[in-house]
Structure 1
Amino acid sequence: MSSLILTLPLTPPGIATKYSYTLTSDGHTATDHARAAAALLPEPSRPGGEVVAMVPISALSWQRVQLPPGIPLGPNHQTPRLRSILEGLLEDRLLDDPAQLHFALQPGAEAGSPVWVAVCDRSWLRDNLQALEAAGRAVSRVVPEFAPGPTASGTTEICALGSPSEPQMILCGQGPDQSVTMLPLSAAVLALAGLTSTTDDDAPAPVVRADPAVAEVAERTLGRQVTLHTATQRALDAARGDWDLAQFELASTSRIRAMRKAGTAASALLYAPQWRAARWAAALLVGVHLVGLNLWAWQEKQALAAKQVAVRNALTTTFPQVKVVVDAPVQMERELGLLRQKAGSVSPRDLEPLMAAVGASLPDDRVPTALEFAPGELRLRGVTLAPDEESVFNTRLQAAGYSARTEDGTLLVRAEGTP
């Protein structure tokens, strides 16, 4: 999906505050990265893109608590009551006043189960989000740089970052709770964490990544090669996670969340690489349907043309005197009428058959006062029929190939097929 990923600074926002940003069109590859003031930040590269704010690992504290059973959770239930419960559970673990802190529950948290809670300074986070919104870059999601939970490799992962003078390491996927911990990068700390080369050979070696600034220090300290992992790559990884720290008073309304979610899903379907096969399949399916519809239309057109040729041939074969065919059915009916006239016969559209059909269908005591005849139809004046009599009259006429209806006080009888 198209995203603008911003790394929030550790200091409160000001006029000179600059944000590190990463632009991506598919959520996996960076198209641009730099630093800029809030007013100069670029927009997501595609419509429906989102602005994601990333909270650095040093600005977060991770706490694991056991939620009481029966507490309503979820976006629509992040109420002051739930916050009060979290404050009570974390009060003895936090150095700062819980009222000054912001809490966020892990995705899929369930009441009665252990859950991870992200904790950070509330005013710092709120001020940064408000500064970005004032600059026209309203944040859709707030994600942590690193989060507890299973890692992509399924084992403990080490990420070294910081500066050569003060290197730090982030341990992810540790222990049964799969915690995330930030520690100084040193041989002594590695030994205390049980991550030295003298550990059990049967245990899988942790995956090690390092920021380019501390890659050399990490290799020297760990005694092994490391994979380079830049701040841009960390931002892309964080934005693809499930976490959203914008909860409680910082949460968007349900309508805005739904709109953002729909826009994000649409953008992912259109541009994300994991949906490329689905997009090709959809395009192929549409193409096949278009080809099939055109082929079907061509076949129908050919069949209609063949029928039209057959009708014209029938006309010119039956009546050789017709040299120019304009409307074959009409011309054939006209020629049949001329043949009847020459033979002295009548057609169902003539006066005699119409009167005979009407006389056989009308009740015995009903006699019209006036008749009007036109080819194919007969108007009867002065005839009034009861509903049951009209039903019988119409049934008899239909059996003889005629239809009737009342029009302007007259009874109109027509031969079937008369326009």
Structure 2
Amino acid sequence: MQPLYHVLILTPTNFSAAMPTSTSVLDWVLSSNGRVASDHGGCALSLLPADDDVVLVLPPRLVSWHRVALPKVASARVRAALDGMLEDRLLDDPAELHLALEPGSRPGQTLWVAACNKAWLQAWLQTLEAAGRPATRIVPALWPTSAVGSEHGETVHWAHDEGNRVWLSTASPLGVRSIPLRENGSSTYGATSRLGADSSFGPASTFGDSSFGSLGSSTGRGPEYTLTAASDPATTSWFADPSITGLAEQVCNQRFDLMPTADWLLRCAQSDWNLAQFDLRLSSGARRTQRMRQGWRHFASAAPWKPARWALVALVLTVLGGVNAMAWKERSALQAKQQAIRQTLQSTFPEVGLVLDAPVQMQRELTRLQQASGTLSAQDLEGMLAFIAATEPGASLSSIDFLSGEARLGIGGLPDDRLLALQQAMASRGWQVSSDSGMLNVQAKAP
């Protein structure tokens, strides 16, 4: 069975921070449920596969994270309040940045705020729109792992290729941070990386305290930095793109689980984040459609809903089974009645060999018997005239035209209401009656 819809998750190839063009190349993954990839690859915008939903994943170093205590203000003033609170923390003018609140947050709470370059984001949204692939959702590649009102969460390390360099990005309850990994076994972990250090994007990535251990050196070959995990192994995950796993394990002295780009994009799309807020917010109709699709996708694939899905399948099968049983019972009863009518016809009129339409054939045989015995029937003119005389004794006939069971009678001496009453009385006895300029057309139903 073909899936009802697809979700297309995409990001600039190698998480590039370059401004988009019509020939820009993207990494993408296609999924029918948002959890399992049905196809993936990399291509230009014009060659992207067909889709229903498009999710744009932002490169990790293009998003900075800021922890703020948002005051209780009206929804229309939230953005202005954020600008005032973050003005001293940002390297760029807040008006040049796009801001978004974490899922489930509201004024009066301490929450995470994502910031990214508005011009870059709007350029990509416009480019996707022009290519016929408008984004219905915007998500970050990494996000702080603490939820609203909590300071606890897992720590996720991810080694990946970004901008033709190998980076180790870390997300924890303290924020998100990216550091470059070098092939000589060293890392510049000691310096806070700037957002888009190889480009003009200004906001600094914030992380706070490090989840790595000490930075040390070994003798014999010059400075060498060794990264060791200091966080709880039970809540810490290490992932790396298969092409750079060896380098990441050498530098960090830590085993990494393989995580291809396609699987990482799926992971991003499964988060609750949506950066399409404030001036980039979708219309209410688009949000409603998006929620319905996300709800259906969650119901169709999420493990907690598996018993409900099986229950729904059982209910549908039960209903279908019941409907089929009732249909079979009704069909059997109808066939039994039809067989009884056929048997009645053949027992009453043995000369009928082939039964095609038992009621019609029985009427025809009955008409033949009436004609053979001289008995009047509804097909005879005498029967029509007798009924008219009995129903309207004052009616006078000026003309009679009869042929093959159809009579055209000129009736006089009756007002319109009495003529209409006569037509209704004859129709109730099975004749088809109509009037035309004082003429009454009467036809018996065909046997």
- TM-score normalised by length of structure 1: 0.67
CA offset at residue 237 of structure 1? 1.7
Which residue pairs with 2:96 in the alignment?
Answer: 100
Unpaired runs of 5+ in structure 2?
1-5, 176-205, 216-228
> Is contact 2:30–2:37 with CA below 8 Å preserved after alignment?
yes
Change in Cα spacing, 1:64 to 1:234, as seen in structure 2 (3 Å) is: farther
Q: Say what the alpha-carbon RMSD is for the aligned residues.
A: 4.9
Residue correspondence of structure 1 range 306-345 to structure 2 within 5 A: 307=337, 309-323=339-353, 328-345=358-375
Of the three residues 44, 59, 68, the one matched with 1:39 is 44
Q: Does residue 3 of structure 1 match 2:4?
A: no
CA pair 352-83 structure 1, distance change in 2 beyond 3 A: same
Amino acid at match of 2:439: T
Alignment partner for residue 157 of structure 2, among 146, 156, 160? 160
Q: Secondary structure at the match of 1:12?
A: coil
Length, aligned pairs only: 383
Asked if the contact 1:377–1:412 (Cα under 8 Å) also holds between the matched residues in 2, the reply is yes
Equivalent-residue separation in structure 2 for 1:255 and 1:147 (angstroms): 27
User: Secondary structure at 2:396's aligned position in 1?
Assistant: coil
Kindly report which structure 2 residues correspond to 1:11-90, keeping only aligned pairs within 5 A, or say none: 11-13=17-19, 21-26=27-32, 27-29=34-36, 39=44, 43-44=48-49, 47-48=51-52, 50-57=54-61, 59-72=63-76, 82-90=78-86
Q: 1:388 to 1:103 in 2, by over 3 A?
A: same
User: Counterparts of 1:132 and 1:2 in 2: how far apart (Å)?
Assistant: 15
1:188–1:287 distance in 2 versus 1, CA, 3 Å = same
Does the aligned pair in 1 maintain the 2:8–2:31 contact within 8 Å?
A: yes
Q: Output aligned runs, 1:20-419, within 5 Å.
A: 21-26=27-32, 27-29=34-36, 39=44, 43-44=48-49, 47-48=51-52, 50-57=54-61, 59-72=63-76, 82-130=78-126, 139-148=135-144, 150=146, 155-161=152-158, 169-172=170-173, 181=207, 183-184=209-210, 186-187=212-213, 205-211=234-240, 212=245, 213-215=247-249, 218=252, 233-252=263-282, 268=297, 307=337, 309-323=339-353, 328-362=358-392, 364=394, 366-374=395-403, 376-383=405-412, 385-390=414-419, 392-394=421-423, 396-397=425-426, 404-415=433-444, 417-418=445-446
Distance 1:399 1:167 in 2: 91
Distance 1:121 1:354 in 2: 93
* Equivalent AA in structure 2 for residue 124 of structure 1: W
Task: Indicate if the aligned counterparts of 1:269 and 1:279 stay in contact, CA closer than 8 A.
Answer: no
- For 1:66-105, what per-residue CA distance to the aligned partner results, in whole angstroms no more than 9, with x for missing partners? 2434325xxxxxxxx6533432333244343212221123
Structure 1: distance between partners of 2:128 and 2:421: 82
Question: 1:392 and 1:284 mapped to 2: Cα distance?
Answer: 59
8 A Cα contact 1:210 1:230, kept in partner: no
Q: Helix, strand or coil: the match of 1:381?
A: strand
Per the TM alignment, residue 358 of structure 1 is displaced from its structure 2 partner at its CA by: 0.9
Call closer, same or farther: CA 1:350–1:165 in 2, change over 3 Å. closer
In the aligned structure 1, how far is the partner of 2:273 from the partner of 2:316?
A: 36
| CA-CA distance at 1:243 after TM superposition | 1.6
Instruction: Identify if the C-alpha distance between structure 1 residues 280 and 104 changes in structure 2 by more than 3 Å, giving closer, same or farther.
Output: same
Query: How far, CA to CA, are the matches of 1:336 and 1:256 in structure 2?
Result: 69
Q: Partner residue of 1:192? A: none
Q: Which has the higher contact order (CA 8 A, sep 6+)?
A: 1
Aligned-pair identity (%): 33
Looking at structure 2, the residues matched to 354 and 165 of structure 1 have their Cα atoms a distance apart, in angstroms, of 102
- State the distance in 1 between where 2:11 and 2:207 align: 22
The answer for unaligned runs of 5 or more in structure 1 is: 73-80, 175-179, 190-194
Q: Secondary structure at the match of 1:393?
A: helix
Measured in 2, the distance between the counterparts of 1:165 and 1:413 equals 96
Amino acid at match of 1:242: D
**Separation in 1, partners of 2:73, 2:320:** 56
Residue 30 (structure 1) shift: 5.1
Q: 1:254: Cα distance to partner?
A: 5.4
Q: Deviations over 1:15-63 (max 9, x none)?
A: 8x986735243533456777x6x7379624x643524222305631223
Deviation at 1:337, TM superposition (A): 3.5
C-alpha separation between the residues in 2 aligned to 1:367 and 1:217?
A: 117
Deviation at 1:159, TM superposition (A): 2.3
Q: Which stretch has the larger CA shift, 328-337 or 286-295?
A: 286-295
State the Cα deviation string for residues 239-272 of structure 1 (Å, max 9, x = none).
2112222334444555666677777778x48995
CA distance in 2, matches of 1:132, 1:300: 57
What is the identity, as a one-letter code, of the residue corresponding to 1:393?
L
Partners in 2 of 1:169 and 1:91 — Cα distance?
25
> What is the alpha-carbon distance in structure 2 between the residues aligned to residue 309 and residue 338 of structure 1?
24
State the secondary structure of the residue aligned to 1:368: strand
2:191 aligned residue:
none
The offset of 1:183, in angstroms, is 5.0
The letter of the residue matching 2:35 is H
Native 8 Å contact 1:368 1:382 kept in 2: yes
